[in-house]
Amino acid sequence: MRAAAEFIARSAGIASRLLGRGGGTSLPGTVLLKLRPNAVADLAASLGGGSLTVSATNGKTTTSRLIVAGLDAAGVANVANTAGANLMGGVASTLLAARLPANNTAVGVLEVDEAALPAVVTQAQPRVITLINLFRDQLDRFGELETLLATWASMISTLDESVTLVLNADDPAVASLAAHHENVVWFGIEDRSMELEEMAHAADSTRCRICTTELVYDAVMLGHLGHWACPTNDTARPPVSVAVTGVTPRGTEALDLHLTLPTGEIHTRLQLPGLHNAYNAAAAAATLTALGVDAKAIENGLGAAQAAFGRAERLTIDGKELVLFLAKNPTGANTNVRTVLQHDGPLHVLAMLNDRTADGQDVSWIWDVDYEPLLERVAHITVAGDRAHDLALRFHYAGLDANRLTIAQDPARALDSALQQVPAGNSLFALPTYTAMLDLRAVLTQRGHTDPYWETAS
């Protein structure tokens, strides 16, 4: 029965691709799950090297990609859902497509949606569970951050002791999960050179989870992440074994990183900008260390990794550079704004807002983003997407003059109009939500600027 179900599911994926309906990245898995609801348990059990899961509000895809790069550098066979299909169906599709032979040694690298994580963990039984952060995100879909945290806590309290939890010490919400499990590896940022002067408006989780006192921060890194302590009890950021001990931004393109691991020191240039990627690198290094990968391979892997699609991805169009920064929640968007501000000179921006299921139907989050420092330096902003007018209102009420704003709902027209404003040799920064990025990628693919995502994503 199992073989028959997997055959039918694979055929559905091939048919979808032949019909030009996208990469079929989660369709075969979805079909398989209809036939066999516990298919992921069977498929994951056939991974000779076991599996790991990566979850977070922001950074799942990039961190998974960095882990894959480290495993590749160490010569460890792996199977990963790096196309971003991170629900149960996507995980099933990835494992199904891998067609693992008997006696394989492959490690499954599973990026998993925050809400889907407990169900995936129950089936996949991972060796390592990596949790990077929890930010306010898509309240209409995930509910409050507190609700999600509670479901993670109950998942963790049922884990076998042999499972390693890799947790971000700088996130007080994530750190609180250690109360439910002994075997924890901590990572965090020690270097305070990129700390923020004040906490962003969108920061959540700034109260002690035990006594509700306002936490005190020695350093704020991004969102509510930083060096925290409760002034009224003993809770504080735990000491970390995987530490970012040096971080230096290299424009909007890269980060120079120094990591201290239990197995050695790492110096590398990560081809990804922004302090959030220092967290992703540390999470990947900690996960790889937990899997027994040595420091040299981790260093080589981090240095070789390329941007995941839409995450600081760069393209050249008619002598102008287009840089894509996906954001779907306030903290992600704030981080992107911070990174774009590393660019010298006047800024050209294409902001795209959709309100489909994968974006979150409630678009109010754009008002929690600190766009103001960007607007001070912006030469021109083009707004696009299903909810272009909501973005236009956001910028209008922030005081942007009408002559620096263009509204163009259609992504192709928006791209043309935005590029037209950019002087030759200069950059256009695109800030799309998830489905807006897919729309923009479709335009770029149609014009021959980029490959379809299911081909580049492996």
Partner 1 sequence: MSNPGGDQPTVRLCHLYPREMNIYADRGNIAVFARRLSLRGFGLQITEAGLGDAVDPHAHDLWYMGGGQDRDQAIVAADMVLTKADALRAAQTNGAAQLYVCGGIQLAGHRYAAVDGQMLPGVGVLDLETTAGATRLIGDLVIRAELDGETQTVVGYENHAGRTYLGTGTRPLGTVVSGHGNNNTDGGEGAVTDRVIGTYLHGPLLPKNPWLADTLLRWALEHRYPEPPPLAPLDNTLEETAHARAIARAGVSR
Q: Which of residues 305-364 bind partner 1 (CB under 8 A)?
A: 355, 361-364
CA dist., res. 256 & res. 200, Å (int)? 25
Residues comprising the chain, all counted: 458
**Is 430 within 8 Å of 325 (Cβ atoms)?**
yes
Q: Which of residues 152-211 bind partner 1 (CB under 8 A)?
A: 201, 204, 207
CA dist., res. 163 & res. 166, Å (int)? 10
CA dist., res. 244 & res. 171, Å (int)? 15
Q: Which of residues 12-41 bind partner 1 (CB under 8 A)?
A: none
> Which CB atom, from 351 or from 428, has the smaller least distance to partner 1?
351
Q: Which of 37, 45, 140, 158 binds partner 1 (CB under 8 A)?
A: 140
Q: Please state, in angstroms and as integers, the Cα–Cα distance from residue 380 to each residue in 108, 327, 351, following that order.
A: 44, 19, 11
Q: Which of 178, 368, 404, 454 binds partner 1 (CB under 8 A)?
A: 368
Burial label, 251 (beta-carbon count in 10 A; 0-12, 13-18, 19+): exposed
Residue 219, both tokens: 């350093």
> Which CB atom, from 222 or from 366, has the smaller least distance to partner 1?
366
> Which CB atom, from 182 or from 401, has the smaller least distance to partner 1?
401
Residue at 251: amino acid letter: G
Q: What are phi and psi of 321, to 5 degrees?
A: -100, 135
Of the listed pieces 116-124, 142-150, 274-282, 301-309, which binds partner 1 according to CB under 8 A? 142-150
Smallest separation, CB 61 to partner 1 (Å): 26
CA dist., res. 20 & res. 211, Å (int)? 55
> Which CB atom, from 368 or from 410, has the smaller least distance to partner 1?
368
CA dist., res. 67 & res. 258, Å (int)? 17
- Residue 87, SS3 per DSSP: coil
Smallest separation, CB 144 to partner 1 (Å): 5
> Which CB atom, from 355 or from 410, has the smaller least distance to partner 1?
355
Residue 23 DSSP class:
T
Smallest separation, CB 145 to partner 1 (Å): 7
Residue 440, both tokens: 């923009």
Residue 228 DSSP class:
E
Please work out the total of residues on this chain that contact partner 1, with binding judged by CB under 8 A.
31
Q: Which of residues 204-243 bind partner 1 (CB under 8 A)?
A: 204, 207, 212
**Is 5 within 8 Å of 37 (Cβ atoms)?**
no
> Which CB atom, from 138 or from 336, has the smaller least distance to partner 1?
138
Contacts of 369 (CB under 8 A, 6+ apart): 202, 327, 330, 333, 334, 337
Smallest separation, CB 392 to partner 1 (Å): 5
Smallest separation, CB 201 to partner 1 (Å): 6
> Which CB atom, from 88 or from 366, has the smaller least distance to partner 1?
366
Smallest separation, CB 58 to partner 1 (Å): 18
Residue 337, both tokens: 């704004």
Smallest separation, CB 140 to partner 1 (Å): 5
Residue 361 DSSP class:
S
Q: Binding string, 379-408, against partner 1, x = CB under 8 A?
A: -------xx-xx-xxx-xxxx---------
**Is 29 within 8 Å of 88 (Cβ atoms)?**
yes
> Which CB atom, from 256 or from 368, has the smaller least distance to partner 1?
368
**Considering only CA atoms, which of 321, 291, 272 is closest in space to residue 163?**
291
Smallest separation, CB 148 to partner 1 (Å): 11
Q: Which of 365, 429, 434, 453 binds partner 1 (CB under 8 A)?
A: 365
Interaction between residue 146 and partner 1 (CB under 8 A): yes
> Which CB atom, from 180 or from 207, has the smaller least distance to partner 1?
207
Q: Which of 139, 163, 184, 412 binds partner 1 (CB under 8 A)?
A: 139
> Which CB atom, from 324 or from 405, has the smaller least distance to partner 1?
405
Smallest separation, CB 336 to partner 1 (Å): 18
> Which CB atom, from 398 or from 443, has the smaller least distance to partner 1?
398
CA dist., res. 165 & res. 181, Å (int)? 8
Smallest separation, CB 387 to partner 1 (Å): 7
CA dist., res. 388 & res. 408, Å (int)? 7
Q: Please state, in angstroms and as integers, the Cα–Cα distance from residue 274 to each residue in 84, 223, 416, 434, following that order.
A: 21, 13, 27, 19
Residue ranges in contact with partner 1 by CB under 8 A: 136, 139-140, 143-146, 201, 204, 207, 212, 355, 361-368, 386-387, 389-390, 392-394, 396-399
